[in-house]
Amino acid sequence: MRATAILLLLSGCYVPHRYVIDAGDFERVRVTPPEVVNATRVKDGKAVHLRASTLLLDTAEPQATTPATPPRIVIKSRAKSQMLLAGHLLTWIGSAISITGTLLYLIPSTDTLKTTGLILAPSAEPLMITGTVLWVLSLIRHPQEVP
């Protein structure tokens, strides 16, 4: 049980996104990383400030540029998302409670167990709904960006 909880905590709580940064900024990050780097989000082209510590330097790919534009690098950034972790936990805990309640109701047993299952199964729905909403919202947010 403890191993499962640790595995759940460590898995899937990082959110990756791709960004474009200037080649000069990339070299500065490699030599002496600053706190923040100016970047452009690949997904929507929005200019953002990015935490330099979240850049995965081994994923850097030079971007084709014209002679009039400075050289740029496409790089992946990955940051831990507490919201994604909360979404995971609420969804899985709610699912376990709901399945347990459903099994208690469906398995031939005493009326007390059937009533317990009938109450337990739907009581987990708010947990699962909240977890799913947090899960989706966490994938929209960019935890590696500085506001």
Neighbours of 101 (CB within 10 A): 19
Q: Smallest Cα–Cα separation from 113: which of 122, 105, 121?
A: 105
Q: Encode 20-53: b = buried (16+ Cβ within 10 Å), e = exposed.
A: bbbeebbeebeeeeeeebebbbeeeeeebebbbe
Q: Are 127 and 86 in contact (CB under 8 A)?
A: no
Q: Are 44 and 54 in contact (CB under 8 A)?
A: no
The token duo for 12 is 């899937």
- C-alpha span between 46 and 135 (Å, rounded): 23
pTM summary value: 0.69
Which are the contacts of 25, defined by CB distance < 8 A and separation ≥ 6? 37, 38, 39
- C-alpha span between 127 and 111 (Å, rounded): 26
Which helix (H) or strand (E) is 61 found in, with range? strand 55-63
- C-alpha span between 139 and 13 (Å, rounded): 10
Query: What whole-number percentage of the chain has pLDDT above 70?
Result: 90
pLDDT tens by residue, 17-37: 899 998 888 888 888 878 899
pLDDT tens by residue, 119-133: 999 999 999 999 999
pLDDT tens by residue, 42-73: 888 899 999 988 888 888 888 777 777 778 88
